[in-house]
C-alpha cells in the first residue's frame, strides 16, 4: 500500500491556472465539440489553437471555426501568448485563448456543523470572495437551514461586489442522503426534517438555478476540478469528519449510482447489531470512525461525562492524551483505524481505484492513516489487490467544500450553455 508519509495541509485553494478535468483526446463523445473545445481551454488556463486541436483530437480548421463561435458568444477571448505559441510564432503576433472570467458567475455553498461556508467563483474558476459562519451541532428545521444558506450566499456576494442577479447558478452541498436527480434530501444530520425537496425550496427562495449534492461528492468535485484528480480517470475520495463519506470518479466523471445516492461508504455495515449510527441504523462504518464515535468512546473509556464538553474539545483532549502515551486514548484511535482500514479495503476490492485520497478535518489525527492502518488495508484486501492503490491524505481547509459546490454549479452552467440544448449565449 503506497501512502504518502504525511498529510498535505492545504488551507486554501490557489487561483487556478486552468480548472476542470484534464481529459485525453476523444475521451468524450457525448458532449458537443464546442463544449469540448471550451472545456479544454478552461482546463489549460491559456492555450494555443494548435494545442486545442491536439487536446480535443480534431482538425485545426474545426478548432478555428468553433473558437470563433465561442469568441462571438463572449465566452472566450484572445490574450497574451502561451509559451508554445511564442516559440512557434515566426513573425505572427502570438495569441492564446482564455475563458472570459466575467462571462458567468456562480456560487458554492456548503452547509454543515460546525461551519457553513460559501464562495463566489467566475467562469474561469477564480474565487472572487468567500464567507463562513459557525453553526451549532443541533439539527435545524428545513426552513432555518434554507435561511442559513441564504445568509451565507448574501455574505459572500457582498464581499464580491456582485448581486444575486449576477449569478448563473448556485451549487449547494449538505451531508446526508441526497438524491441529485430530484434534489430531495432524504436525511441529513443537520436537518430535523426528512424527505425535504431542498433544491426546489432554495431555488424558489433565491430565484436562481440551484444544483445540490452530497458534501463528499463536492469534495471529490474539488479534487477533480482543482486538485490531485484533474488528470486522473479514476480515483476515490474518503472523507472523515463529523461523518464518513465517499466520492468516486470513473472516467473523469463523478459516479452517483442509479438513484443518485451511491457511494455512502459511511453507512455500509461493518458490524451486525453494532453501535448506533446517527442515521438510525446499527453497525455503520461511521459509527466507529466519525467524530461522534470517538467522543462516545472517550466518554466511556476515559470516564469523561458525555455531553459536558463540546465535541471538538473532547477530540483535541483525546488526541493530546494519545500523543502523550495514554493507553486508553491510543486504543480508541487504534480501533477507529482498524475499522477505517476495513472500509477502505472494501473500496479497494470493489473499485480498484488508481488513487485514494483521505480528506477532511480528522486527517489531522495521524493515527487514522498510520503505517499500521495502511498495512491492515493491504491485509484485508483480496490477494489480487495486495499491492493496493496510492493513498494520499489531504488536510484541506473548510473552503474546499464550498469550492466543490461552485464546481458543481460551473459544470451545470457549462452544460446548459454549451451542451446539446444550449445556445452558447
Non-local (6+) Cβ contacts of 363 within 8 A are 7, 240, 369, 393, 394, 395
Q: Is the dihedral of CA 261, 175, 8, 108 positive or negative?
A: positive
pLDDT of residue 375: 85
Grid cell listed for 424: 452558447
C-alpha cell at 165: 442577479
User: Looking at residue 11, what is its pLDDT?
Assistant: 44
Beta strands in 36-168 (DSSP E): 76-79, 96-99, 105-110, 115-122, 127-134
Give Rg (Cα) of the chain: 23
Strands 115-122 and 105-110: what pairing? antiparallel
- 10-residue mean pLDDT profile of the chain (425 residues): values are 45 65 79 95 96 95 97 93 50 80 98 92 97 85 96 97 98 94 94 96 98 95 94 93 90 88 90 91 93 86 68 84 90 92 92 89 74 84 72 82 97 93 64
pLDDT attached to residue 5: 36
pLDDT at res. 385: 64
* Strand 115-122 relative to strand 127-134, pairing: antiparallel
DSSP code string of 87-107: HH-TTSPP-EEEE-GGG-EEE
pLDDT at 28: 62
Residue 321 C-alpha cell reads as 492524551
Alpha helices in 352-398, H assignment, sequence order: 371-380
Asked if residue 106 lies in contact with residue 169, where contact means CB atoms within 8 angstroms, the answer is: yes
Ordered by where they begin, the domains of the chain are: 14-102 (1.10.10.10), 103-221+400-418 (3.30.420.40), 231-396 (3.30.420.40)
| C-alpha separations of 144 from 135, 157, 221, 349 in Å | 12, 20, 27, 41
Amino acid at each position: 500500500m503506497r501512502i504518502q508519509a504525511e498529510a498535505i495541509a492545504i488551507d486554501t485553494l490557489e487561483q487556478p491556472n486552468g480548472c476542470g478535468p484534464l481529459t485525453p483526446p476523444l475521451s468524450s463523445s457525448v458532449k458537443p465539440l464546442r463544449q469540448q473545445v471550451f472545456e479544454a481551454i478552461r482546463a489549460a488556463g491559456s492555450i494555443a489553437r494548435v494545442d486545442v486541436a491536439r487536446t480535443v483530437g480534431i482538425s485545426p480548421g474545426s478548432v478555428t471555426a468553433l473558437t470563433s463561435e465561442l469568441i462571438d458568444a463572449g465566452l472566450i477571448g484572445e490574450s497574451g501568448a502561451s509559451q508554445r505559441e511564442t516559440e512557434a510564432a515566426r513573425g505572427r503576433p502570438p495569441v492564446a485563448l482564455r475563458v472570459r472570467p466575467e462571462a458567468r458567475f456562480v456560487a458554492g455553498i456548503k452547509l454543515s456543523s460546525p461551519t457553513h461556508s460559501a464562495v463566489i467563483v467566475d467562469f474561469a474558476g477564480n474565487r472572487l470572495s468567500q464567507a463562513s459562519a459557525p453553526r451549532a451541532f443541533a439539527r435545524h428545521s428545513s426552513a432555518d437551514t434554507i435561511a442559513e444558506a441564504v445568509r451565507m450566499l448574501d455574505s459572500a456576494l457582498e464581499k464580491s461586489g456582485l448581486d444575486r442577479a449576477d449569478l448563473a447558478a448556485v451549487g449547494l452541498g449538505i451531508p446526508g442522503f441526497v438524491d441529485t436527480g430530484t434534489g430531495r434530501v432524504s436525511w441529513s444530520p443537520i436537518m430535523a426534517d426528512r424527505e425535504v425537496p431542498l433544491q426546489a425550496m432554495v431555488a424558489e427562495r433565491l430565484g436562481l438555478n440551484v444544483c445540490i449534492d452530497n458534501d463528499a461528492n463536492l469534495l471529490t468535485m474539488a479534487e477533480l476540478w482543482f486538485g490531485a484528480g484533474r488528470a486522473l480517470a479514476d480515483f476515490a475520495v474518503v472523507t472523515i469528519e463529523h461523518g464518513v463519506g465517499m466520492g468516486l470518479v470513473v472516467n473523469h466523471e463523478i459516479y452517483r449510482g442509479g438513484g443518485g445516492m451511491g457511494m455512502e461508504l459511511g453507512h455500509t455495515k461493518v458490524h451486525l447489531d453494532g453501535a448506533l449510527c446517527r442515521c438510525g441504523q446499527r453497525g455503520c462504518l461511521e459509527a466507529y470512525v466519525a467524530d461522534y464515535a470517538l467522543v462516545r468512546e472517550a466518554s466511556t473509556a476515559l470516564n469523561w461525562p458525555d455531553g459536558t464538553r463540546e465535541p471538538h474539545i473532547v477530540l483535541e483532549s483525546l488526541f493530546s492524551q494519545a500523543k502523550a502515551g495514554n493507553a486508553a486514548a491510543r486504543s480508541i484511535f487504534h480501533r477507529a483505524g482498524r475499522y477505517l482500514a476495513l472500509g477502505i479495503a472494501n473500496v479497494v476490492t470493489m473499485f480498484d481505484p488508481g488513487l485514494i485520497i483521505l480528506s477532511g478535518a480528522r486527517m489531522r489525527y495521524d493515527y487514522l492513516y498510520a503505517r499500521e492502518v495502511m498495512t491492515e488495508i493491504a491485509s484485508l484486501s483480496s490477494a489480487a489487490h495486495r499491492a493496493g492503490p496510492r493513498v494520499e491524505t489531504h488536510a484541506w481547509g473548510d473552503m474546499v467544500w464550498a469550492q466543490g459546490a461552485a464546481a458543481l454549479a460551473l459544470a451545470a452552467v457549462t452544460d446548459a450553455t454549451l451542451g446539446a440544448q444550449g445556445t452558447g449565449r
